[in-house]
Amino acid sequence: MSGLDWIEQALVAARPTALAALLRYFRDLDLAEEAFQEACLRALAHWPRNGPPRDRAAWLILVGRNAGVDSLRRRSRHEALPDEAELSDGEDAEADLAERLDAAHYRDDILRLLFVCCHPDLPRTGQIALALRIVAGVPTARIARAFLVGEAAMEQRITRAKARVAQGSVPFEAPGRPERAARLAAVASMLYLLFNEGYSAGFPEADARAPLCDEAIRLVRLLLRLFPAEPEISGLCALMLLQHARSPARFDAHGAAILLENQDRAQWDRAMIGEGLALLDKAMRHNRAGPYQIQAAVAALHARAATAAETDWAQIDHLYAALERMQPLPVVTLNRAVAVFKTRGPEPALALIEPLASALSGYFYFHGARGAFLKALGRTEEARASLTRAIGLAGTAAEAAFIRGEIDALAGMETMPQGSSALTRLAE
């Protein structure tokens, strides 16, 4: 790691804890964000010279809180706080705050913030988008891609949601049990997207954004304690664990992405897989299947296969067909198409996704999958056009590099053997 990369990784990892604590302190989204950004700027100035503090989140909370108070006093034309060195570099104050970070009010700050962002007074998409933006610091462009809308439209949704919170219509207090239950689906959706934001990062971003996966898993475990009899929360936790277990095998030493079918399964975290499978089994005993349980069941089929060749793609096809009935969404059909490709070949898989062209025109994996299917059919020029479009939509350098390799391979290949799809990772 070189330059200031280690600082960026530390700030990404500390953001949820620090920002949630600052919001609880100030009860103002804009001021909390402003205070956190000021703390980050001061970290960039101080840490390279003085080294990282013992507890980075505690440091950011303390410095951000001081910066926010200073801002409020300036706005009120009061006397400014003492010099920053007297406030933010006080070792005893920082150590005291670090000791309290594991106390209940700090440990649950992020969960409390999630329920605030997912208040029913806010539109559903506004709830999840606001939580992603505030809690995880996910860029608006990435949130827009997750919802398949334009960046400007998503920015408006987030701005409107923040305005509703600022106007005082959304209380900052932790909701009671009935209110938590009402908001549970939105919170679960946000945690799923938070996990994906970390999991989908390419190398070298993966190391920096891996804490988002860990934080999503930690928070969904908190939800499980609140709702132990809710099978979809167990299914969501199982899904995260089964996917995260594959993380050590997803990139090679040079940072190139390794497809699921080519991963060294000995590197998968078997303890994490065992926990995920146990949670899935527990959820399924309720006999109330839901989308997260079905997706976890797909991940479980991959986890249980000793080799890629032993993967039960026919069962994965059936599972995605069931998910389509629950959630008739284009991305679900796209995932199912990969299983169809594996079991029935490229022609029916291509026929399945062609109607999705308009809805998924800005989605990287649609053009990548379409290119792979066309390549398998020997329609190389059409495949090249789809893969070229995919490069323009790649979210990471690793994704773009992989697709470039597929395009280069077209020059020497007229066909692609069935079963070697570049988009196997879709149907995870």
In a domain? residue 426: yes
| CA-to-CA dists, residue 244 to 60, 74, 115, 198, 255, angstroms | 28, 46, 24, 10, 17
Q: Would you say residue 422 has pLDDT above 50?
A: no
In a domain? residue 321: no
Cα–Cα distance measured from residue 41 to residue 7, given in angstroms and rounded to the nearest whole number: 11
In a domain? residue 324: no
Q: Would you say residue 114 has pLDDT above 80?
A: no
pLDDT digits (tens, 9 = 90+) for 33-71: 899 999 999 999 989 888 888 888 889 999 999 999 888
pLDDT digits (tens, 9 = 90+) for 187-220: 888 888 888 877 876 555 555 566 778 878 988 8
In a domain? residue 85: yes
187 and 209 co-located in one domain:
yes
In a domain? residue 322: no
Which span out of 24-28, 130-134, 153-157 was modeled with the highest average pLDDT? Answer: 153-157
From the CA atom positions of the chain, what is the Rg in Å? 23
Which span out of 76-90, 148-162, 288-302, 383-397 was modeled with the highest average pLDDT? Answer: 288-302
pLDDT given at position 316: 97
Cα–Cα distance measured from residue 304 to residue 321, given in angstroms and rounded to the nearest whole number: 21
pLDDT given at position 269: 96
410 and 341 co-located in one domain:
yes
113 and 214 co-located in one domain:
yes
126 — pLDDT class (breaks 50, 70, 90): confident
Domain of 420 in residue numbering reads as: 333-428
350 and 410 co-located in one domain:
yes
Number of domains composing the chain: 4
Picking from 86, 104, 122, the residue at the C-terminal end of a domain is 104
Picking from 104, 123, 157, the residue at the C-terminal end of a domain is 104
More confident residue, 252 or 424: 252
Cα–Cα distance measured from residue 245 to residue 60, given in angstroms and rounded to the nearest whole number: 30
208 and 277 co-located in one domain:
no
Backbone angles phi, psi at 311, to 5 degrees: -65, 135
In a domain? residue 91: yes
pLDDT digits (tens, 9 = 90+) for 9-19: 788 778 878 88
| CA-to-CA dists, residue 87 to 60, 91, 93, 141, angstroms | 12, 9, 8, 36
87 and 172 co-located in one domain:
no
342 — pLDDT class (breaks 50, 70, 90): very high
More confident residue, 220 or 167: 220
304 and 291 co-located in one domain:
yes
Q: Would you say residue 1 has pLDDT above 70?
A: no
Picking from 198, 222, 246, the residue at the C-terminal end of a domain is 222
In a domain? residue 300: yes
287 — pLDDT class (breaks 50, 70, 90): very high
98 — pLDDT class (breaks 50, 70, 90): very low
CA atoms within 13 A of residue 76's CA, in its CB half-sphere? 10
236 and 194 co-located in one domain:
no
Q: Would you say residue 348 has pLDDT above 50?
A: yes
189 and 254 co-located in one domain:
no
154 and 85 co-located in one domain:
no
Q: Would you say residue 106 has pLDDT above 60?
A: no
Question: Can you tell me the mean pLDDT for 387-408?
Answer: 85
pLDDT given at position 279: 97
112 and 215 co-located in one domain:
yes
